Amino acid sequence: MRVFSGVQPTGNIHLGNYLGALKQFVELQDDNECIYCIVDLHAITIPKDPIQLHEHVLDVAALYMAIGIDPKKSTIFVQSDVPGHSELAWILTCSSYMGELSRMTQFKDKSKGQESAPTGIFSYPLLMAADILLYDAEVVPVGNDQKQHIEITRDLAIRVNNRFGDDTFVVPDGRFIKAGARVMSLDDPTSKMSKSAESEMSRISLLDDAAKIKKAIMRATTDSDGIIKYDPVNKPGISNLLSIYAAMSGESIESLEARYAGEGYGTLKKDLVEVVKEGLAPIQSRYAEIRQSQELIDVLKVGAEKANAIAEVTIKRVKEKYGLGIGI
Ligand code: AQP
């Protein structure tokens, strides 16, 4: 299977990104042809400091490798190094409707309260659809928050295929995992953990030190009944901690509920601190080795060459279908 996914270089990758998406990236690379992108064009939908953006691109690339994405097995590259993403996004824009884009919940959330929302936030799903369709990807491992964007990608592919033939685009499927598919904010478990949330205590980044991990988990919002039970509707805080615990340790939520029955939240939180620290320690030490290395730049250059080679074939095919260019 051809697998494609990406992460925005908008800050340090957190447990939500890791458990919802990145862990799957690693699992999939042994039996599939995997293409993993750092989606910097998506990051500029909200203005970014250029020097910081560049650093974040390298941070994410180094984290990809630190969590176990092996450049010998998977292609790792930066989105803006492959012009086909922008080209296909425009072509898809011309096959899309304002109505379907206006219905995207992420657009509604991100534009809330703004008199005039940036166009990039509105057309973001078209660039994401282009990212996926450019590589004829069959499988897209993502967190639950991207379900709607996968749906619109499928709709666009089917619409264009109905017009020009089924050999135009591969219609992709999303791949969502159970535990960790939607990690919630630690200080407000009714909203998702996010890189751009103001409060540092809302998330654990993969590079956080032991003291920050402890502080964020011990302060995590829970309820007052003291019962350790997975019930995301009525007990979102403790349910979030249980699902992080399960995803990081591999132990099932049911087994955790049984093991901690009758214990206080403090005991569960203390143990979770250790589980998270142990899980992140090897990632952090590998990251420190890779981040300043020449190997990182070499991997991204080779990755861009490989990605461009695939993208150019798709762009040529799609342009022919639409009657664009003179076929050079
Ligand atoms: N809280 C989450 N739980 C599970 N999965 C999540 N993902 C993001 N947040 C959670 C998944 O991580 C992958 C990469 O996400 P992204 O960086 O491309 O964009 P995002 O979804 O917008 O992530 P953030 O952290 O919320 O970034 P900001 O704050 O910059 O918008 C995706 O597969 C996503 O599903």
Domains of the chain: 2-180+294-322 (3.40.50.620), 200-287 (1.10.240.10)
195 catalytic per annotation: yes
Report the separation in Å between the CA atom of 135 and the middle of ligand 1, taken as the mean of its atom positions.
21
Q: Which two tokens stand for residue 308?
A: 């461009």
Q: Which tens digit of pLDDT belongs to each residue from 149-171?
A: 999 999 999 999 999 999 999 99
pLDDT at 84 over 70: yes
Report the separation in Å between the CA atom of 17 and the middle of ligand 1, taken as the mean of its atom positions.
5
Report the separation in Å between the CA atom of 205 and the middle of ligand 1, taken as the mean of its atom positions.
12
pLDDT at 313 over 90: yes
Query: According to the model, what pLDDT value does residue 269 have?
Result: 97
- Under the banding of pLDDT at 50, 70 and 90, the label for residue 129 is very high
Judged by average pLDDT, the poorest of 23-32, 191-200, 275-284, 291-300 is 191-200
- Choosing from 195, 214, 235, 269, which is the catalytic residue? 195
* Residue 194 CB–ligand 1 contact under 6 Å: yes
Report the separation in Å between the CA atom of 258 and the middle of ligand 1, taken as the mean of its atom positions.
31
Query: According to the model, what pLDDT value does residue 305 have?
Result: 98
Separation in Å, CA 68 to CA 74, 111, 199, 251, 282:
10, 35, 29, 21, 10
* Residue 240 CB–ligand 1 contact under 6 Å: no
pLDDT at 187 over 80: yes
pLDDT at 176 over 80: yes
Burial class (CB in 10 A: 0-12, 13-18, 19+), 68: middle
Q: Are 104 and 155 in contact (CB under 8 A)?
A: no
* Residue 142 CB–ligand 1 contact under 6 Å: yes
- Under the banding of pLDDT at 50, 70 and 90, the label for residue 180 is low
Q: Which tens digit of pLDDT belongs to each residue from 206-215?
A: 999 999 999 9
Mean pLDDT of the chain: 95
270 catalytic per annotation: no
Residue with the larger pLDDT of the pair 37 and 180: 37
Other Cβ atoms closer than 10 A to 298: 11
Residue with the larger pLDDT of the pair 84 and 195: 84
192 catalytic per annotation: yes
State mean pLDDT over 217-226. 94
- Choosing from 23, 72, 73, 110, which is the catalytic residue? 110
Query: According to the model, what pLDDT value does residue 11 have?
Result: 79
- Under the banding of pLDDT at 50, 70 and 90, the label for residue 112 is confident
* Residue 279 CB–ligand 1 contact under 6 Å: no
State mean pLDDT over 46-56. 95
Report the separation in Å between the CA atom of 143 and the middle of ligand 1, taken as the mean of its atom positions.
7
Beta pairing partners, 38: 7, 78
Query: According to the model, what pLDDT value does residue 327 have?
Result: 77
- Choosing from 23, 192, 235, 269, which is the catalytic residue? 192
pLDDT at 178 over 90: no
Q: What are phi and psi of 7, to 5 degrees?
A: -135, 140
Closest ligand 1 atom to Cα of 145 = 35
State mean pLDDT over 21-31. 94
| Phi-psi map region of 165: left, alpha, beta (phi>0 left; psi -120 to 50 alpha) | left
pLDDT at 144 over 90: no
Q: Are 177 and 187 in contact (CB under 8 A)?
A: no
Other Cβ atoms closer than 10 A to 100: 14
Query: According to the model, what pLDDT value does residue 197 have?
Result: 87
- Under the banding of pLDDT at 50, 70 and 90, the label for residue 192 is very high
pLDDT at 263 over 90: yes
Query: According to the model, what pLDDT value does residue 179 have?
Result: 65
Query: According to the model, what pLDDT value does residue 207 have?
Result: 95
